[in-house]
Homo-oligomer: A and B are copies of this chain.
Amino acid sequence: MKIALAQINPIVGDLDGNAAKIIDFIRRAEGQGAELVIFPELCVTGYPPKDLLLKPHLIRQNVAAVERIAAACGDIVAVVGYAQPNTTGEGRDLFNAAAVCSQGRILHSHGKRLLPTYDVFDETRYFESNLASDVATVEIAGRPVQLGFSICEDLWNNEQFEGLRLYHDDPIADLARSGAELLINISASPFWMGKPRERIRIFSSQVAEHAVPLVYVNQVGGNDDLLFDGGSAFFAADGRLAAQAKFFAEDLLMVDLDDLDAARREPCLDPLVSVRAALVLGTRDYVRKCGFDEVVLGLSGGIDSALSAALAVEALGADKVHGVAMPSRYSSAHSLSDAEALAGNLGIDYRVIPIEDSYQALEAALAPHFGDRPADIAEENLQARVRGNLLMALSNKFGWLLLTTGNKSELSVGYCTLYGDMCGGLAVISDVPKLMVYDLARHINASAGREIIPEGTLTKPPSAELRADQRDEDSLPPYEVLDGILAGYIEQEMSVEAIAETGFDRATVAEVARLVDRNEYKRKQAALGLKVTSRAFGTGRRMPIAARYPS
């Protein structure tokens, strides 16, 4: 049997465009002799469709799209993810289903059983669980095959939770017991650093346990904050990874069950390389799926904006990226020279807009109200907000999407200015901790074999330059300490006490935790950020604002 793994990058809600892409991939699969072609979870709507699923007309249009796709299928069998109306009269309106299409018809639909509702997932908000895990007999290339369908989480079961038995059921065991010859899992599995290898480990062990081969087809592409890395794969019945599609790109991977050794097996990426690829794809997809072509960002001479600019150039091309330096009275000479060197290295448009006159005009307007109060955070933020205002004016005038460049460490503790440097539609590296920002920057220079990010940017002490001689370490612990504490507090939900016990100063831990908690209001209004860790701010971390936090 020849199987095509159609790893596509759909646009959320674009039912016509996604259906056209699916039909195009079916044609290409047929052209390569495929008898079975498999698409990702909810590929007709794109994943995650969120509350678009509450629109009854979207549901009707998604069913009509599957019917069009089925009509385009002759002998080939196509498996397509869509939102299937629940006609039982009980429970939620929809199933998250796989439609099996052939001979012009939808032969069969199989709904998802385990509905993730944690982290970034809200599936029980929309879907009813399909309590049966039935095997379907499907005629492929003239012979009946017992197919065992599962959707994403069904395959993970409780393996991912380290001892927690969240789910009562085991869909894969049920399918194996029911005589499945081939397991088919359609997924939209969001990336975080380390997940691709985790996936292979878990899937391989599931397959080996049940001794049934598995085709796994994952979505690829960025949809808002979530990045899908692809890496669709075929596992032989002994659990061996026999074929693997590309990471971070669309792919049509052919697997001939009678000649597994000939199958293509794209390599896994190193974790840091995968984060870079994820950020590049996420930036490209967000910009383009929003209908933009060009982007603008502020260049401070610092490491965060330098990395963001380099990633934007990889994503969009140097001619689509505009960098703006906005020096103030507190900017050091190297800030401008480093920003200029970066722009030169990247080959991007570079402009300088001094903020001094605008800042002074605002200061003068406020002077009657501020009186003789000493300068404080108000004046610092005023500068950052003049910069935000200038960048947004360029964005509005020229139709460039503004990228914001803060990292996860500073967003965690609120070391950033709301409506200032937080202005922007996309936060490219807001889920990247500061130490990893340096790692990525060095990796970019190393892989280019030349200086992209200027050496000065890499070596000087980080500073917001909003007052004379300011350095990050005046306000924050060294990043080695800060990032360690944040990993415990945010990703692992550890208490102050528990983090201190791992070897950090208790008072420092308590202060970092206090800063994280009290800056929830800033993150409420932060730009959407690309998720690359196991716990990102945004949809995966839902915190109250007007609240007290336990230590």
Which A residues are closer than 8 A to B by beta carbons?
A: 11-15, 17, 46, 48-52, 54-58, 61, 89-93, 117-118, 122, 124-125, 164-168, 222-224, 285-286, 289-290, 351, 353-355, 357-358, 360-362, 364-366, 369-370, 373, 376-379, 381-382, 385-386, 388-390, 392-394, 396-397, 418-419, 423, 425, 493, 495, 497-498, 521, 524-528, 539, 541-551
Please name all residues of chain B whose beta carbon is closer than 8 Å to the beta carbon of A57 when the two chains form the complex. Answer: 495, 497-498, 550-551
Complex Cα distance A17/B497, Å? Answer: 21
- B495 & A55 in contact (Cβ 8 Å cutoff): yes
Query: Measured between C-beta atoms, what is the minimum distance from A15 to chain B in Å?
Result: 6
A58 in contact with B550 (CB, 8 Å): yes
Chain B proximity of A412: nearest CB distance (Å):
15
Are B370's CB and A389's CB within 8 A? no
Q: Known interface pairs A495-B55, A550-B55. Does A542 touch B122 (Cβ–Cβ under 8 Å)? A: yes
Among all A-B residue pairs, the 7 with the closest Cβ atoms: A289-B546, A378-B396, A57-B495, A361-B361, A12-B547, A378-B397, A14-B548
CB contacts (< 8 Å) of A524 on chain B: these are: 527-528
Partner of A91 from B118, B165, B355, B357 at Cβ < 8 Å: B165
Contact B521 A425 (CB under 8 A): yes
Quick check: A546 and B12 within 8 Å, CB to CB?
A: yes
- Residues from chain B with a CB closer than 8 A to the CB of A419 are 385, 388-389, 392, 419, 423
Number of identical protomers: 2
With both chains docked as a complex, state the minimum distance between the C-beta of A56 and any C-beta of chain B, in angstroms.
Answer: 7
Smallest beta-carbon distance A93→chain B, Å: 8
Q: Judge whether A393 and B382 touch: CB under 8 Å.
A: yes
In the bound complex, do residue B543 and residue A50 qualify as a contact, i.e. CB atoms below 8 Å apart?
A: yes
CA distance A419 to B526 in the complex (A): 11
Known: A89-B165, A545-B224. A353 touches B381 (CB 8 A): no
Contacts known (A122-B542, A376-B396, A495-B56); A91 close to B50, Cβ less than 8 A: no
Is B92 in contact with A166, judged by CB distance below 8 angstroms?
yes
On chain B, the residues within 8 Å of A13 by CB distance are 544, 547-550
Q: How far is the CB of A120 from chain B (nearest CB, A)?
A: 11
20 A-B residue pairs with Cβ-Cβ distance under 8 Å, sorted by A, are A13-B547, A13-B548, A15-B548, A46-B547, A51-B543, A57-B497, A58-B550, A90-B165, A91-B165, A93-B164, A122-B125, A222-B546, A224-B545, A286-B546, A365-B390, A366-B394, A385-B389, A385-B419, A389-B389, A528-B545
Instruction: Assess whether B382 is in contact with A389, with CB atoms less than 8 Å apart.
Output: yes
A237 to B: closest C-beta gap in Å: 30
A390 nearest CB across to chain B (Å): 6
Q: Are A370 and B397 in contact (CB under 8 A)?
A: yes
Complex CA gap A166/B92 in Å reads 6
Residue among B124, B354, B365, B425 making CB contact with A357, cutoff 8 Å: B365
Contacts of A392 in B (CB 8 A): 381, 385, 418-419
Residues of B within 8 A of A48 (CB): 544
Q: What is the minimal beta-carbon distance from A223 to any residue of chain B, in angstroms?
A: 6
Residues from chain B with a CB closer than 8 A to the CB of A117 are 117, 122, 124-125
A482 CB to closest chain B CB (Å) equals 20
Known: A386-B389, A550-B61. A54 touches B493 (CB 8 A): yes
- Complex contact A542–B50 (CB within 8 A): yes
Among A15, A166, A542, the most chain B Cβ lie within 10 Å of the Cβ of A542
- Please report the C-alpha to C-alpha distance between residue A351 and residue B166 in the assembled complex, in whole angstroms: 57
Minimum Cβ distance to chain B for residue A38 (Å): 24
In whole Å, how far is A257's beta carbon from the nearest beta carbon of chain B?
Answer: 37
Cα of A419 to Cα of B392 in the assembled complex, Å? 9
Complex CA gap A121/B354 in Å reads 47
Q: Which residue of B lies closest to A12 (CB)?
A: B547
Q: Is the CB of A353 within 8 A of B376?
A: no
A166 and B91 contact, Cβ closer than 8 Å, known pairs A52-B547, A355-B365, A543-B51: yes
